[in-house]
Amino acid sequence: MTTNVAESLNKVLKECREFPLISMLEAIRMSLISWFVRRKSASAAENHAVNPKVRDILDENFYGCTELKVVAVGSDEYEVYNRKGNRFEVNLVSKSCSCREFQMLLIPCRHAIAASSCCGIEINKLVGEVYTTEYRRALYDGVFHPVPTPVSSGNELLPPLMRRPPGRPRKIRIPSRGEFKRRARKAARICSRCQGKGHNRATCKLPVKDK
């Protein structure tokens, strides 16, 4: 819904957009390599089964579940009550909670953590696969190989015959749908004869202002 990612990438590739096509692709490849290597090293050094940001959410939910009361309804279904007497239904198999936080984010809410502590299920097993360290390492497991150089056949490869389009090449990005260009406010014109605004000395009909 937003163009934040595209804007960030455009800023990184601002200089290499003036390069030839192969050089531009090579600059993009080197940028991606630096990003992936840095993230791959961070994921390889991670010893926990869950990503760090998700662990912070789990710790916060864990401290909030100490005041909850858990009642076992079935083997995998539980009813959790807070101090106000509100009831929440938790199912650890389908990973659902009536508060809807557990089902939407795939991160155990405090009601699910309270229910898992009663049945001895590890909290990390309730976290969605996309938030695990193993899944994170698989994302950056690929390698970006260089663009292959065409094999020369002995004849010189010339650029295609084409006419250069009229005008200067475009350097300003075309706004995407939903974006509006901000217009700079123009300074008001001040007359040097009467110090008034909105006209100049040639069209001034007001009396001269005393200095």
Q: For 59-100, how does the pLDDT look when each residue is reduced to its tens digit (9 = 90+)?
A: 888 888 888 888 888 878 889 898 888 898 888 888 888 887
Beta 77-81 vs 69-72: how paired, if at all?
Answer: antiparallel
Domain boundary among 113, 131, 149: 131
In a domain, 206, yes or no: no
Domain with 35 in it? 15-45
Closest CA to 81 of 107, 111, 118: 111
In a domain, 91, yes or no: yes
In a domain, 124, yes or no: yes
Interval 23-60: pLDDT, tens? 888 888 888 888 888 888 888 888 888 888 888 888 88
In a domain, 117, yes or no: yes
In a domain, 170, yes or no: no
In total, how many domains does the chain have?
Answer: 2
User: What SS3 string covers 112-149?
Assistant: HHHHHHHHCCCHHHHCCHHHEHHHHHHHCCCCCCCCCC
In a domain, 147, yes or no: no
pTM exceeding the 0.85 threshold for the entire prediction: no
Query: Is 122 found in the same domain as 65?
Result: yes
Domain boundary among 112, 131, 150: 131
Query: Is 110 found in the same domain as 89?
Result: yes
Query: Is 29 found in the same domain as 70?
Result: no
Domain boundary among 131, 163, 185: 131
In a domain, 158, yes or no: no
In a domain, 119, yes or no: yes
